[in-house]
Amino acid sequence: MTQPRIPILIDTDIGDDIDDALAIALAVNSPEVELRAVTTVFGPVAIRTKLALKLLATYGCSEIPVGTGRGTPLFGPEPKIMPNQAVVLQEGERLPEPSPLAADELILRTASDLGGRLTIITIGGMTNMAVALLRDPSLASRARLVVMGGVVGTPMAEWNIVCDPEAARICFQSGIPLTMVGLDVTTQCQMSREDVAAVGRRATPATALLKRMIDAWAGPGDPATRRTPVLHDPLAVAVSFRPELCMRQPRRVVVETRGEFTRAFTLASQTEPTNADVCLGVDAPGFLRLFMERILSR
């Protein structure tokens, strides 16, 4: 019997690292999931919304709402950055209209409409998700959360947590069922130069746009020596419907927000009660095969 599709919402800072665009592409090419909405976060969110709208439209998914979220973290100034992939946006091009709902409202509305079946995947700073939980704490009992963020095997702060440590702490403490897909596993999943070349050779409208975005992220230079994407965010999407790709353990994860040298560290212990399934190992070859198969499918 066919399994029902898993409804998901992706909260993204698309436009900086290339893995956000690749994660959205994986979602729309995966029959196991139904992408119900996208929300944007961190810094120049209006540009990020346009990038998400363009990517979805190129895949023929203009009906998926994209809600513009918070550019500023809960505490601190708005980041002054310009997404490198904004170069794919053309002056005056016609794009679908963004959702009239702000990101936190779109998160809450989508969760309510789905009656507890929604999986939210955060692949950027967690500000929108924290605001939604603060507005309606019952969201923690009406959705599950997959977080691309954090690291437990190395004493360091991971970027998505750094973007808004207070927001991340709120989410981890909310009681929502949570899977953490951190650098312990994502850094093992990297496209090869041949993988990147295969995306270019596919030459559909969608893969052509992805290749332009990859090139904008990689920067100028010889394609034979340029960096290739690490698939942090696509792995989080894949774990939402193929949890067996990662070996997980329940842990108690606390986000440090006050340490002078440890701010944004994700401190994980096996102390009860646990609040997250933490990914500690990954079938990287299996995931990469799945990813490339789906990305090249159209």
Q: Give SS3 for 193.
A: helix
Query: Could you give the CA distance from residue 291 to residue 191 in angstroms, rounded to a whole number?
Result: 10
Those residues of the chain that have pLDDT short of 70 are 1
Q: List the one residue out of 118, 126, 41, 43 whose CA is nearest residue 77.
A: 43
Range(s) of the domain holding residue 258: 6-295
What pLDDT shows up at residue 1? 59
Q: Quick check: 12 and 48 in contact, CB under 8 A? A: yes
- What pTM did the predictor assign? 0.98
Q: What is the CATH number of the domain that holds 285?
A: 3.90.245.10
Domain-embedded: residue 238: yes
Query: Could you give the CA distance from residue 148 to residue 186 in angstroms, rounded to a whole number?
Result: 9
pLDDT digits (tens, 9 = 90+) for 249-258: 999 999 999 9
Domain-embedded: residue 34: yes
Q: Quick check: 51 and 39 in contact, CB under 8 A? A: no
Q: Which of 36, 54, 211, 232 is catalytic?
A: 232
How many structural domains does the chain have? 1
Domain-embedded: residue 108: yes
Domain-embedded: residue 1: no
Query: Could you give the CA distance from residue 227 to residue 92 in angstroms, rounded to a whole number?
Result: 32
Percent of the chain with pLDDT over 90: 94
232 is catalytic: yes
Tokens at 54, concatenated: 């363009």
- Report which DSSP code applies to 230: B
